[in-house]
Structure 1
Amino acid sequence: MKPERSIRDLVSDVLKELERLHYSEGTRTGYRRFYRRLIDFADSAGEKVYSESLGNRFLQSSYAFNLDNYTVSLHRSFRNEARFIRVLGDYQLHGAILRRRTTKIPYQKTPQFAEVLKSYYEECGRRNYSYQGMRARIYRTELFIDYLDDHGITSLSSLTGRQVSDYIRTVAGYHRKSISAILTTLRSFLTFLHLAGYHERDLSGDVPRLRQPHYPKIPSTWSHEDVRRVLASVDRGNPNGKRDYAILLIVTRLGMRAQDIKEIRLSNLNWTTRNIEMVQHKTKQRAHYPILDDIGWAIIDYLKNGRPKTSSPHLFVRHSAPFEAFGACANLHHIIAGYTRRAGIRLRTGTSWECTP
């Protein structure tokens, strides 16, 4: 879209595009109301063309914040307003609404895109990516395909390095970690297009590499005092607390990965040898974790007094119906982070939860 177009025309086109992309009527009503207020603000300022500066001044005047001050994270109270402004800017610059989430009713893509995506998904499956990794990779690939579709590109065989670069510019405002993940997926997909015969050239070389801070393979550790404070913050008088206390003990005493904790089954508990015997999710190697005294008593307390009645074979289950194992994408972060905040400890990046000796 050309920047000199009037704000009214820009808003009209954005609302039409939202409808084409099957955004719900309620969501579009929210956009419509917000943009009416923005147009009124522009009229009072004597401005007829939308600009980033105008959007920021409107946010500052109406909501006491602007996007310049929230480049890393945004309080949930402002997320809708920030999204409304970003959509307007994205459409003005790129002629497309760059979706952060897929819609409930996806619009129909061209048959060739559907074929390529199916082939790529099958290739990812052959590479034995984890469920979470596969899900994230597919999501990021679909966002790229959506961008191409929005720009009228119907044949991947004619894709150019310039078009790839144009897409990369649309994610420039994301967090560095997100950009790095998007670029990694994009390189993988472009390489696949070449190797599978969908494109004569491997365009992955046109995707820049983003330098990311590297954390050492042996992570730093938390002090006994920090761990003691976190464990002490758990209310063990209720079922949730009994479950969470057992989980936190396994994390802090054994250093077990969250995915492995979720997958512990009752049959993995060998009370005779006092071991948790299981195959690790990440390495696919069999491992034995000792059931230390405090861990054992915490598990027993949970099984007797906290775990809901359920037929689930997993040790730890959700405490809201249905009483099943944690979902495949649940990483238990909310449990660990919640008790960390309750204990008054600030989360640090790149640390583990094992105690120092």
Structure 2
Amino acid sequence: MPSISKSTKIPSVWTEDEIKKLLQAIDRNSPIGKRDYAMIVLACILGLRISDIKNLTFDNFNWEEKKLSIIQHKTKKPLTLPIPDAVGWAVIDYIKNGRPKYYESKFIFLKHMPPFDALSDESDLSGRIHFYMKKAKIPLNKNCHRGFHSLRHTSASMLLDAGVELPVITSILGHSSTDITSIYLKTDLDKLKECVLDLTFDDEYIDIR
């Protein structure tokens, strides 16, 4: 059993309905909309950190094998993931129809104002998510984080809901151990209920579920 710290906060996650509304609010006919859509699906489907999404280059994508291979910015460890169709077509659509025609840069995602630099570490993209939340009429809650990292949390939570085993989720997220990934158990109340033990006091039996 992985250890879970009692003091660790419960990660902020999106509901499936909120994710659908967020993606539907993005104007995928505009270049910036194509960029934002591709970045968001990379976060909520593959669970990539925003630092790794910003650093993606053309060399990271093996389209023939449908694999994405990176060296994680935070851990410096290699990570290889399959590219689902929804992610692959979103990235291809941005590269072909949205990305500025600036071939001197190896980075996939660029700023859309000259000199078309790569997105820097200082670029705060949470504002883009809040912009689409407002369009989708998803309420902002000051007690519930709604940045790119919450999309990564949501990816892990949805995998857990789908019955994917914790070691597999650990591998997908690029965590070093299941102890780190186990925080997402706190987001799954149904799974937590299965862990609840019945209480007995002397001869009296109490089922608390």
TM-score interval for Structure 1 and Structure 2 normalised by the shorter chain: 0.5 to 0.7
Instruction: Provide the aligned C-alpha RMSD in A.
Output: 1.7
Deviation at 1:346, TM superposition (A): 2.4
**Structure 1 match to 2:92:** 300
In the TM superposition, 1:12-91 aligns within 5 A as none
In the TM superposition, 1:198-277 aligns within 5 A as 214-216=8-10, 219-277=11-69
Q: Deviations over 1:20-79 (max 9, x none)?
A: xxxxxxxxxxxxxxxxxxxxxxxxxxxxxxxxxxxxxxxxxxxxxxxxxxxxxxxxxxxx
How many residue pairs align between the two structures? 143
Task: Determine which of 93, 99, 112 is the counterpart of 1:319.
Answer: 112
Task: Determine which of 69, 72, 76 is the counterpart of 1:284.
Answer: 76
Q: Distance in 2 between matches of 1:319 and 1:283?
A: 29
Q: Distance in 2 between matches of 1:313 and 1:278?
A: 14
Aligned-pair identity in percent equals: 38
TM-score by length of 2: 0.64
AA at the equivalent of 2:114: A
**Which structure ranks higher in relative contact order (CA pairs < 8 Å, sequence separation ≥ 6)?**
2
AA at the equivalent of 1:307: R
**Structure 2 match to 1:335:** 128
In the TM superposition, 1:160-199 aligns within 5 A as none
Q: Distance in 1 between matches of 2:95 and 2:115?
A: 18
Deviation at 1:270, TM superposition (A): 1.1
Q: Distance in 2 between matches of 1:272 and 1:223?
A: 33
- SS across alignment from 1:236: coil
**Structure 2 match to 1:194:** none
AA at the equivalent of 1:316: F
Q: Distance in 2 between matches of 1:338 and 1:289?
A: 29
Structure 1 gaps, min length 5: 1-212
Runs of 4+ in 1 over 6 A off after TM superposition: none
TM-score by length of 1: 0.38
Is 1:346–2:104 an aligned residue pair? no
**Structure showing greater Rg:** 1
Deviation at 1:221, TM superposition (A): 2.5
Q: Distance in 2 between matches of 1:246 and 1:276?
A: 14
